[in-house]
Amino acid sequence: MTREHLLIIGGGIIGALSAWSLRQEGFAGRISVIERDPTYRFASTALSAASIRTQFACPVNVELSLFGAQFLKNVSGSLGVEADIGFVENGYLILGDERTLPAREQALDMQRACGAAVERLEAPALAERFPWLSTDGVAMATFGTRDEGWFDAWSLLQAAKSAAQAADVAFVRAEATGFTTRGGRIVALETAGGEIAGDWFVNAAGAASARVARWLGRDLPVRARKRTVFHIKAPLDSERMPMLFDVSGAWMRPERDGFIAGIAPLDDCDPDADGDFEPDHALFEEALWPILAARVPALEELRVQSAWAGHYEMCLFDHNGIVGFAPEAENYILATGFSGHGVMHAPGVARGVAELVVHGAYRSIDLAPLGIERIIAGRPMPESAIY
């Protein structure tokens, strides 16, 4: 009997960890990760802010974060290779105003019920604990005291690749261009270099995953949305500083000898970003800097060192990932649409993909809420905590 062959389209963190997880779950066939650009110049993973939080509005996202935190905090032990991703567990401090109070309180109860360690802070306690912060307009803040922080996504990706390669996973440099199907199954992946026959196919193509889905006639509601990250310096001690989310959605966190910061553009200034990786410098001047300077007065004296832009693989339907079998073919699995939280959720998602293939069902975290069925049925599961 010939060995089964599983192909993963996309070698970013979702694809690389899925390949490794498949081996961990006992997949004994061939595994090939098809990646068009091994330098990962434009991959979301390489351009991400690489932070992890347990503060979400949907329980499945909290569970994925808790799983991810355990994995990342002991990444060498998790992957079985020497890895240093520089995990900093300084927490997320998320500010809320009167308008968002009821939803935030509800989410806090749910997060705690899932096992997340999140504190509630009113304005006086907030001012005492974080004296560099202005509490103007803040009705409530939440602070994750465990399992939240940031790390180096590039080192994580390299470690995941090494672990997968050590487990006999092949990383193939090729651009996938289509599927060949027969009798309700995909039988081969088309690439510029020819067809690659396979038995399982995973769409982990990130911001390009809707293009892949279209080969089977599915209009997946995942689109590339540009997000700019600014590297700044300011006279502020970053040692114990958390990742800060302002009520406006602006964020900043320590990075090396300074900080990184960003804010999403307004909806009507957020078009499909295919091919556009030009940092949006106007966003800093017009939106981000005034907000940050008002919230953290020391930032009035900041200096921008550099900026880069990457793409969120945004799920326009409800800002949640799309994971699991798709009806287009019986041997086709989706793992995309993570809308700004795909690195932190990659360990749990990858485990789920592996469990589906090897056991035919989820065993660790029930990822059924992320299935494409909700989209087909027109029943969104909105994730409001996206930035």
Ligand X SMILES: Cc1cc2nc3c(=O)[nH]c(=O)nc-3n(C[C@H](O)[C@H](O)[C@H](O)COP(=O)(O)OP(=O)(O)OC[C@H]3O[C@@H](n4cnc5c(N)ncnc54)[C@H](O)[C@@H]3O)c2cc1C
**Which residues of this chain interact with ligand X, rule CB under 6 A?**
9-15, 34-37, 40, 43-45, 47-51, 175-176, 204-208, 227, 229, 310-313, 336, 338, 340-344
Nearer of residues 37 and 84 to ligand X, judged by Cβ: 37
Nearer of residues 101 and 245 to ligand X, judged by Cβ: 245
Task: In angstroms, give the least distance from the CB of 131 to ligand X.
Answer: 26
Distance CA 200, CA 302 (A): 51
Task: In angstroms, give the least distance from the CB of 125 to ligand X.
Answer: 26
Task: In angstroms, give the least distance from the CB of 150 to ligand X.
Answer: 7
User: Per this entry, what is the length of the chain?
Assistant: 387
Task: In angstroms, give the least distance from the CB of 309 to ligand X.
Answer: 7
CB of 139 closer than 8 Å to CB of 116: no
Nearer of residues 89 and 105 to ligand X, judged by Cβ: 89
Q: Residue 132 corresponds to which amino acid?
A: W
Distance CA 127, CA 253 (A): 18
CB of 370 closer than 8 Å to CB of 60: yes
Nearer of residues 34 and 95 to ligand X, judged by Cβ: 34
Pairing mode of beta strands 149-150, 51-52 = antiparallel
Joined tokens for residue 167: 């487990």
Nearer of residues 88 and 208 to ligand X, judged by Cβ: 208
CB of 138 closer than 8 Å to CB of 247: yes
Distance CA 54, CA 62 (A): 5
Nearer of residues 261 and 343 to ligand X, judged by Cβ: 343
Task: In angstroms, give the least distance from the CB of 154 to ligand X.
Answer: 11
C-alpha dist (Å) from residue 27 to 18, 156, 169: 11, 22, 11
What is the DSSP code string of 331-385? TEEEEE--TT-HHHHHHHHHHHHHHHHHHSS-SSS--GGGSTHHHHTT-------
Contacts of 356 (CB under 8 A, 6+ apart): 324, 325, 333, 362
Q: Residue 25 corresponds to which amino acid?
A: E
CA–centroid distance for 67 within its chain: 14
Joined tokens for residue 316: 């326009």
Task: In angstroms, give the least distance from the CB of 144 to ligand X.
Answer: 14
Task: In angstroms, give the least distance from the CB of 42 to ligand X.
Answer: 7
Nearer of residues 137 and 279 to ligand X, judged by Cβ: 279
Task: In angstroms, give the least distance from the CB of 136 to ligand X.
Answer: 26
Nearer of residues 23 and 227 to ligand X, judged by Cβ: 227
Distance CA 285, CA 276 (A): 20
Nearer of residues 2 and 22 to ligand X, judged by Cβ: 22
C-alpha dist (Å) from residue 342 to 36, 96, 239, 261, 327: 20, 24, 26, 18, 23
Task: In angstroms, give the least distance from the CB of 102 to ligand X.
Answer: 26
